[in-house]
């Protein structure tokens, strides 16, 4: 170790993570058809695994129709967008996709961002600043938390789903310039749903804005597949929705949907949009094809709803700790200790199932968990293999927190 290396502290920081069982490896993966993959390690490639650790719920990332659409857009406009949207980066594919997203979500307008993360940070910072108050669910996604912090608004973190605290904080914030409530719709580590109707109602009563992040719900919930706002019947001028093209839509990028004035304002002011290169035309093409499939093939989301309810029932009956609020294709099994969850994930790998072991700081201490994400492309074959493997796995005691 060079004592003058200014980065020498990173060596200790890494050793420290390893000692706590928290060091994560950046894996290399070979995606395979039917929701499967291989892991590439120093020892070579793993056997074929069912991938229960992707966000490709509808199996669209491997759909040849998305490939074809991406190729068409790429052939027409090239691989890169060349500039930010406000300069020369916004092609006909971007314009079409924005219009299509607005129609899909039944809002007046939509705006693309480079990623869902950028959409959240840029939107929150565009909506509130010093002199405002932002209310953030304790379990919100990191991108929402970072957006809240970066905005400079007064940040109030409320206990998960706690509508009473939101109401109290809104009452106290009536003198602030603006009030913004920020929430995931489907929570990504717990698989449960925010009290969207109650939050929208509170926003209406308190002249507040409500930002709902539908990253894991878009394409999955609702009769038309638009998300949990649709499924919960929330229609309010106080709500704007964020989404990603990178999960169920099988592409890449983020977007927001809302009133035209909001979209125009954010298109002028959201720094992650204005100062970042527009999406690749190929990503827009693929997302357009995904939206067509979501319209025409509702059986994909119906399958997810039915199978997730069934799996939750089977695992709970078998004594696994699956939170009762789980409502969709993200099914966590709370295990408790970091070592135990790592051992379980390892055992599942040997049984050909790739399941994420989620540990702190992503989730609270002592709530390390397996996180099963369903994939339509993996179908029944994957599920049977997983449930069989869990029958023989070493279950934690029921009292685990
Ligand atoms: C994944 C995720 C994002 C980020 O979306 P990307 O397009 O992957 O950057 C934002 N919010 C939530 C809740 C997410 O799960």
- The alpha carbons of the chain give a radius of gyration, in whole angstroms, of 22
Q: How far apart are CA 286 and CA 289, in angstroms?
A: 5
Residue from 56, 112, 116, 221 whose mutation best tests the ligand 1 pocket (most atoms within 8 A of CB)? 116
The angle at the Cα of 239, spanning 235 to 243, to the nearest 5 degrees, equals 100
- Number of the ligand 1 atom closest to the C-alpha atom of 216: 15
Q: What is the pLDDT of residue 100?
A: 98
Q: Which ranges of 160-248 would DSSP assign to H, the alpha helix?
A: 163-172, 196-205, 228-231
From first CA to last CA, the distance across the chain in angstroms is: 42
Q: Which ranges of 80-162 would DSSP assign to H, the alpha helix?
A: 92-105, 116-127, 142-151
The alpha carbon of 115 and the centre of ligand 1 are apart by a number of angstroms equal to 8
Q: Which ranges of 173-248 would DSSP assign to H, the alpha helix?
A: 196-205, 228-231
Q: How far apart are CA 113 and CA 255, in angstroms?
A: 5
- Number of the ligand 1 atom closest to the C-alpha atom of 245: 7
User: How far, in whole angstroms, is CA 178 from its chain's centroid?
Assistant: 27
Q: How far apart are CA 354 and CA 335, in angstroms?
A: 17
Residue from 54, 55, 117, 193 whose mutation best tests the ligand 1 pocket (most atoms within 8 A of CB)? 117
- Please indicate whether residue 182, judged by its CB atom, sits closer than 6 Å to ligand 1: no
The alpha carbon of 215 and the centre of ligand 1 are apart by a number of angstroms equal to 5
- Please indicate whether residue 54, judged by its CB atom, sits closer than 6 Å to ligand 1: no
- Please indicate whether residue 216, judged by its CB atom, sits closer than 6 Å to ligand 1: yes
Q: How far is CA 122 from CA 133, 242, 349, 387, in A?
A: 16, 11, 38, 41
Q: What is the pLDDT of residue 400?
A: 46
Max Cα–Cα distance, the chain, nearest Å: 62
Residue from 119, 141, 358 whose mutation best tests the ligand 1 pocket (most atoms within 8 A of CB)? 141
DSSP state at residue 297:
-
The alpha carbon of 119 and the centre of ligand 1 are apart by a number of angstroms equal to 9
Element (H, E) at 384: helix 379-391
- Please indicate whether residue 244, judged by its CB atom, sits closer than 6 Å to ligand 1: yes
User: How far, in whole angstroms, is CA 314 from its chain's centroid?
Assistant: 25
pLDDT < 70 regions, the chain: 1, 397-401
The angle at the Cα of 138, spanning 135 to 140, to the nearest 5 degrees, equals 85
Q: What is the pLDDT of residue 398?
A: 58
**Whose alpha carbon is nearest atom 7 of ligand 1?**
116
The alpha carbon of 213 and the centre of ligand 1 are apart by a number of angstroms equal to 8
Strand order in the sheet with 330-336: 330-336, 368-373, 356-358
The alpha carbon of 125 and the centre of ligand 1 are apart by a number of angstroms equal to 17
The alpha carbon of 112 and the centre of ligand 1 are apart by a number of angstroms equal to 14
Q: How far apart are CA 88 and CA 67, in angstroms?
A: 25
Domains within the chain, CATH numbers bracketed = 23-52+298-391 (3.90.1150.10), 64-296 (3.40.640.10)
DSSP state at residue 71:
H
Instruction: Indicate the burial class of 66 (C-beta count within 10 angstroms; 0-12, 13-18, 19 or more).
Output: buried
- Please indicate whether residue 254, judged by its CB atom, sits closer than 6 Å to ligand 1: yes
The three state secondary structure string of 10-56 is: HHHHHHHHHHCCCCCCCCEEEEECCCEEEEEECCEECCCEEECCCCC
Q: Specify the pTM.
A: 0.95
Structure tokens at 69: 């659409």
- Nearest Cα residue to 251 out of 294, 286, 212, 206: 286
119 φ, ψ (degrees, to nearest 5): -60, -45
DSSP state at residue 206:
T
- Please indicate whether residue 211, judged by its CB atom, sits closer than 6 Å to ligand 1: no
The alpha carbon of 185 and the centre of ligand 1 are apart by a number of angstroms equal to 12
- Please indicate whether residue 272, judged by its CB atom, sits closer than 6 Å to ligand 1: no
Contact 176, 131 (CB under 8 A): yes
Q: What is the pLDDT of residue 401?
A: 43
- Please indicate whether residue 227, judged by its CB atom, sits closer than 6 Å to ligand 1: no
DSSP state at residue 102:
H
**Whose alpha carbon is nearest atom 1 of ligand 1?**
215
Place of tokens 């599920």: 383
Residues near 154 by beta carbon (within 8 Å), at least 6 away in sequence: 132, 133, 134, 173, 176
- Please indicate whether residue 248, judged by its CB atom, sits closer than 6 Å to ligand 1: no
Residues near 261 by beta carbon (within 8 Å), at least 6 away in sequence: none
Q: What is the pLDDT of residue 102?
A: 98
The angle at the Cα of 306, spanning 226 to 224, to the nearest 5 degrees, equals 20
For 348-377, what is each residue's pLDDT tens digit?
Answer: 999 999 999 999 888 999 999 999 999 999
- Please indicate whether residue 120, judged by its CB atom, sits closer than 6 Å to ligand 1: yes
**Whose alpha carbon is nearest atom 5 of ligand 1?**
116
The alpha carbon of 55 and the centre of ligand 1 are apart by a number of angstroms equal to 10
Structure tokens at 214: 């539908």
Residue from 118, 213, 244, 272 whose mutation best tests the ligand 1 pocket (most atoms within 8 A of CB)? 244
- Please indicate whether residue 213, judged by its CB atom, sits closer than 6 Å to ligand 1: yes
């Amino acid at each position: 170790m060079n004592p003058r290396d200014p980065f020498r502290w990173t060596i200790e920081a890494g050793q420290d993570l390893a000692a706590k069982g928290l060091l994560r490896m950046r894996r290399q993966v070979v995606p395979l058809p039917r929701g499967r993959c291989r892991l590439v390690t120093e020892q070579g490639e793993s056997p074929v695994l069912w991938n229960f650790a992707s966000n490709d719920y509808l199996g669209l990332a491997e759909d040849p129709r998305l490939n074809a659409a991406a190729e068409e857009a790429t052939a027409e406009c090239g691989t890169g967008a060349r500039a930010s949207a406000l300069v020369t980066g916004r092609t006909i594919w971007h314009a079409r996709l924005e219009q299509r997203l607005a129609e899909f979500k039944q809002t007046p307008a939509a705006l693309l961002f480079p990623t869902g993360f950028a959409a959240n940070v840029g939107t929150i910072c565009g909506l509130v600043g010093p002199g405002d108050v932002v209310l953030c669910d304790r379990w919100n996604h990191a991108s929402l938390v970072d957006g809240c912090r970066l905005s400079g608004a007064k940040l109030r973190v409320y206990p998960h789903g706690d509508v009473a605290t939101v109401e109290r904080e809104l009452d106290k914030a009536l003198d602030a310039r603006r009030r913004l409530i920020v929430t995931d719709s489907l929570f990504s580590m717990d698989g449960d749903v925010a009290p969207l109707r109650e939050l929208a109602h509170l926003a209406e009563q308190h002249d507040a804005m409500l930002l709902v992040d539908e990253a894991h719900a878009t394409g999955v919930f609702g009769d038309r597949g638009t998300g949990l706002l649709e499924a919960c019947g929330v229609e309010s001028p106080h709500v704007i929705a964020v989404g990603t093209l990178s999960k169920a839509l099988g592409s890449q990028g983020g977007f927001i949907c809302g009133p035209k004035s909001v979209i125009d304002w954010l298109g002028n002011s959201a720094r992650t949009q204005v100062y970042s290169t527009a999406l690749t035309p190929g990503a827009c093409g693929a997302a357009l094809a995904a939206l067509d499939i979501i319209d025409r093939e509702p059986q994909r989301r119906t399958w997810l709803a039915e199978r997730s309810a069934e799996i939750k029932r089977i695992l709970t009956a078998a004594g696994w700790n699956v939170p009762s609020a789980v409502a969709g294709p993200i099914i966590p099994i709370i295990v408790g200790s970091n070592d135990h969850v790592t051992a379980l994930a390892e055992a599942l790998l040997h049984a050909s199932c790739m399941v994420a072991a989620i540990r702190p700081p992503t989730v609270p201490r002592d709530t390390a968990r397996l996180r099963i994400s369903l994939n339509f492309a993996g179908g029944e074959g994957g599920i049977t293999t997983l449930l069989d493997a869990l029958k023989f796995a070493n279950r934690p005691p029921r009292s685990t927190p």
